[in-house]
Each structure stands twice: as structure tokens, then as C-alpha cells.
Amino acid sequence: MDRVATRKRKDRLDSRIGQNIRTEREMRKMSREELAEALDLTVSHMGLIERGERGATAVTLEKLAYVFDIKIDALFSEPERGKIKLNEGNSSSLESNRRKITSMITRLNENESEFLIHVIKGLINLHPTRSINEKE
């Protein structure tokens, strides 16, 4: 691969990783300042990474995975476009949706998580072909 192609590939990867970092940060309602502090980076450097203008080091990627409580490879995945699609026929889509749900749940306090459990059980019971009793 020539240098120009390699550079373009690196730029696309940096951009994708930056988008994923921003998405994960926003899902957790973290400010860029909070994330930069957790990673021991400056806010301006964090902004460069999120915009894909600067690549994240391996150490920074490892710290991000720890802070977000995700597998490091999630930072490399293609960003989802549009709405969440629940499609059990596609295991990668299902896994992606599970990661998104898990990420959202980690931000809940005890009362909110108990409320969510009641809501989920109610929704499952409303489904015409499933009931919560089948799951338990």
C-alpha cells in the first residue's frame, strides 16, 4: 500500500474512533472536560481525538475502554447510523444493541434501575407471543 493510501486509511480510522468516543461520552452524559480529566489529557487534545484530527495512542484507547467499561474493539467499529434497530436475525446488530443498552443502564441509579426492570417486564408481558413467565 502506498503512503497516500495508508494516510487516508489512518485518517478514516482516526475519524471513526473519534466518532465512537464522542458517542460513548455523550451516552454517559460526560463532558469533554470530565473525560479528558479521566484520561489525563488536555481538553483540546480530547477535542482533536474526537474530531479525528489526532489519533489516540494505544494507552489512551485502553484507558477509554476502562472508563467506558467496554471492549476496546468497540471503539473501532463502524458507527451506527439512524435509529437503533432490534433485529435478532443479525447477531452483530443484536450485540451492538446489547452494548448500547448496557451502556445506558450503567448510568442509572438504584431507583431508576428498579423502575426500568418493571417497565421491561411490563413490555415483555404485552408482547403477543411472549410473556415474562416464559423467561423466568
Query: Rounded to 10 degrees, what is the CA torsion of 71, 77, 82, 84?
Result: -40
User: Which among 32-36, 82-86, 124-128 has the top mean pLDDT?
Assistant: 32-36
Output the pTM of the full model: 0.59
Backbone angles phi, psi at 84, to 5 degrees: -70, 130
Contacts of 49 (CB under 8 A, 6+ apart): 14, 17, 18, 21, 41, 55, 56, 60
More confident residue, 52 or 111: 52
Tell me which residue of 43, 42, 44, 50 sits closest to 25, measured CA to CA: 50
Contact at 8 Å (CB) between 48 and 11? no
Task: Please say whether the dihedral angle defined by the alpha carbons of residues 98, 104, 109 and 115, taken in this order, is positive or negative.
Answer: negative
Q: Model confidence over 47-99: pLDDT tens digits? A: 999 999 999 999 999 999 999 988 999 899 886 554 344 444 445 567 777 77
